[in-house]
Amino acid sequence: MTLQSAPLSIGHLAAETGERVKALRYWTDLGLLEHRRKESGYRTYTAESVARVQFIRSAQHVGFTLSEIAGILRLRAEGYKPCAEVREELQVHLQAVRQHLTQLQALEAELAGRLAYAQMHPDPECDTAGCVYLNPPAP
């Protein structure tokens, strides 16, 4: 015989997980969190909801969208182990992050160059529409 834990109110779920009630309501409305309603209309959640919230936040932390998370949870609810799909999506996310890092490194180099120029020329000739420090670099 298994003992069922008492249902959690949305406030208790928020306190248990550190999430805002507004986020939990939103995730519930999207179907990411299962709930029941009391006769009073209040939502109640099970103890398993804590793990579900932690999963959602962890997946978001590594770049998964709520839509992607919903797909994973849907596969799991259908009895399918979604690990292969998640592994492929992790690869896609990693490639995107690496590309973004490359772009950020190029931006960093350009900003450093412009700042070095600005520091070497604190009072430049400035007859442009904006500021000489932000003009396109000369070819």
Three-state secondary structure of the chain: CCCCCCCEEHHHHHHHHCCCHHHHHHHHHCCCCCCEECCCCCEEECCHHHHHHHHHHHHHHCCCCHHHHHHHHHHHHCCCCCHHHHHHHHHHHHHHHHHHHHHHHHHHHHHHHHHHHHHHCCCCCCCCCCCHHHCCCCC
Rounded mean pLDDT of the chain? 91
Average pLDDT over residues 21-26: 96
The pLDDT of residue 60 is above 80: yes
pTM to 2 decimal places: 0.77
Rounded CA-CA distance 8/45 in Å is: 5
Rounded CA-CA distance 98/115 in Å is: 25
**High-pLDDT (> 70) share of the chain, %:** 96
Q: CB count, 10 Å around CB of 88?
A: 10
Average pLDDT over residues 89-110: 97
> What is the separation of C-alpha 93 from the centre of its chain, rounded to a whole number of angstroms?
12
Half-sphere exposure of 81 (CA within 13 A, CB side): 2
